[in-house]
Amino acid sequence: MVASTQAPVTGKASRRSWLVWFVAALVYLLAVFHRTSFGVAGLEAADRFGVGAAALSAFTVLQVGVYAVMQIPTGVLVDRYGPRRILIAALLCLALGQVLTAFATSYGLALLGRGVLGFGDAITFVSVLRLSAAHFPGRQYTVVMSLTSAIGFVGNLAATVPLTLLLDGPGWLPTFLVAGLVTALYSAVVAARVRDTPAGHPATPVPVDRRELLRQIRSAWRVPGTRLGFWVHFSTGFAPTVLTLLWGVPFLVRGEGIAPATASALLTVFVFGAMFVGPVVGGLVAARPGLRMPLVAAYLGGATAVWSLLLSLPGPLPVAILLPCFAFLALGVPASTIAFALARDYNPLHRVGTATGLVNVGGFSATTVAALLVGVLLQYTGSFRIALLAVVAVLVYGTFRLLVWWRRARAELFAAQARGEQVPVQVRRHAWDTPAGRPASAAA
């Protein structure tokens, strides 16, 4: 059912709303910086704490696990207490986690620090999106969402070469301590500048008790648009994440015989591709929201073709093939942001945070399943070509579920149009749509 109490779809945000968003988006930049900071510090951490590769991997497993577990609760917390309070809490948790990491001389304390940091990271992105949903009309929201993701990639870049130079210079303790203290100080800026709603629009926090909590989650999950957003996020963004966080370099170095330096350079295509294409995609779908799902479908079809090419050609693959293939796969990250626009458009404003949290679980779930399956297959076969078939399997399954819920969401739109309700996207019936006259609820 199309929500009737949403934020407006058309119009323009004020300069104050843009300032509020920018201050909040910098919180996301800091979160991404802290999230990825251990990537370049891994070898130094192994020496500092005297642990091997298995124990070192627990840092990432814990941090990502906390992130996943907190997505739905974060949406509920944001709807209840407002994004401003949650962003301040996120900054303080990020700061505490990094300070603990700075002073850690034992493995256990460092692990605790990363867990606290993961909690702060987990409650950031949904809060920024919820804030944007309140301050920006639907047509601008997609652009703002894409710009938010692009700003996050700046934090990713800051956690590579600049952080490496700092670790080689001032060292572990000063680098992480200053990062934590700067983050804590920035919470004062958020407290002073960020407001949950535009001027003249009083905030209406939603009280949620234990019985209402599950009801609110179920209500958001029952909306076909939310379910469609989940599968869009599940299908589009997981493959680039699997390659950049875990299996990209091993595949290129051990599977394709590429030098480590060249392999790392190839993976930057994912960062720059998503950073620059994201705002373009956001602007395009903001101007023509009817293109949202066709763009997703085009990406998924192209991604299937790219993976078929990568895994069928005899190796080693030349850079001339890998580079354009990776450049296309990088488009999955901008495509995944369309999922959040769906959550925003098909839910009432007071439930957007919860719906966004549900959608955000989709990409993490796909990433976790694909990464684990690749590892298991690689262990038993020793072949990256066979192991990476797991990515194709997850892609195909996600695409199938997406098509199912795309059809059901369209059925809801047809029903809403028939009732004379305002809908976020005008649709025309096709042969593959739910037959006319069939109840929309039956399609869902």
The pLDDT score that the predictor gives to residue 52 is: 63
- The most confident of the ranges 88-102, 306-320, 430-444 is 88-102
The pLDDT score that the predictor gives to residue 337 is: 85
Helices 138-158 and 338-345 pack at an angle, to 10 degrees, of 140
The answer to whether residues 305 and 251 belong to one domain is yes
Residue 362 lies in a domain: yes
The answer to whether residues 252 and 354 belong to one domain is yes
| Cβ(167)–Cβ(174) below 8 Å | no
The pLDDT score that the predictor gives to residue 139 is: 67
Angstrom distance (rounded) from CA 288 to CA 201: 28
| Cβ(405)–Cβ(228) below 8 Å | yes
* Least confident span in 43-57, 143-157, 309-323: 43-57
The pLDDT score that the predictor gives to residue 307 is: 94
Question: CB under 8 Å to 195, separation ≥6 — which residues?
Answer: 20, 84
The pLDDT score that the predictor gives to residue 8 is: 47
The answer to whether residues 278 and 383 belong to one domain is yes
The answer to whether residues 235 and 190 belong to one domain is no
The pLDDT score that the predictor gives to residue 190 is: 95
The pLDDT score that the predictor gives to residue 422 is: 61
Angstrom distance (rounded) from CA 444 to CA 430: 18
| Cβ(119)–Cβ(29) below 8 Å | no
The pLDDT score that the predictor gives to residue 201 is: 59
Choose the final residue of a domain: 166, 183, 198. Answer: 198
Q: What is the CATH number of the domain that holds 88?
A: 1.20.1250.20
Angstrom distance (rounded) from CA 205 to CA 213: 14
Residue 298 lies in a domain: yes
What DSSP designation does 196 have?
Answer: S
Domains contained in the chain, number? 2
Angstrom distance (rounded) from CA 24 to CA 182: 15
Residue 4 lies in a domain: no
The answer to whether residues 326 and 393 belong to one domain is yes
Angstrom distance (rounded) from CA 153 to CA 63: 18
Angstrom distance (rounded) from CA 42 to CA 34: 13
Residue 214 lies in a domain: no
For the segment 132-153, the average pLDDT, to the nearest whole number, is 79
| Cβ(280)–Cβ(227) below 8 Å | no
The pLDDT score that the predictor gives to residue 4 is: 43
The answer to whether residues 30 and 157 belong to one domain is yes
Supply φ then ψ for residue 346, to 5 degrees.
-105, 10
Residue 321 has pLDDT above 50, yes or no: yes
- Among residues 326, 211, 190, 312, which one has the least CA distance to residue 269? 326
The answer to whether residues 226 and 192 belong to one domain is no
Residue type, 359: V
**Token digits for 106?**
């034992």
Residue 398 lies in a domain: yes
Q: How confident is the model at residue 391 (pLDDT cuts 50, 70, 90)?
A: very high
**180 against 442, higher pLDDT:** 180
Range of the domain at 84: 12-198
Residue 27 lies in a domain: yes
The pLDDT score that the predictor gives to residue 428 is: 66
DSSP codes of every residue in 237-295 = SHHHHHIIIIIHHHIIIIIT---HHHHHHHHHHHHHHHHHHHHHHHHHHHH-GGGHHHH
The answer to whether residues 89 and 122 belong to one domain is yes
Q: How confident is the model at residue 9 (pLDDT cuts 50, 70, 90)?
A: very low
For the segment 304-320, the average pLDDT, to the nearest whole number, is 89
- Among residues 98, 128, 133, 134, which one has the least CA distance to residue 116? 98
The answer to whether residues 258 and 178 belong to one domain is no
Q: pLDDT of 163-176, one tens digit each?
A: 777 887 888 899 99
Residue 208 lies in a domain: no
The answer to whether residues 400 and 256 belong to one domain is yes
Q: What percent of the chain has pLDDT over 70?
A: 82
Residue 100 lies in a domain: yes
The answer to whether residues 114 and 235 belong to one domain is no
Q: pLDDT of 68-82, one tens digit each?
A: 788 778 877 887 788
- The most confident of the ranges 262-276, 277-291, 324-338 is 324-338
**Token digits for 430?**
């096709």
What average pLDDT does the chain have?
Answer: 81
The answer to whether residues 226 and 190 belong to one domain is no
Residue type, 120: G
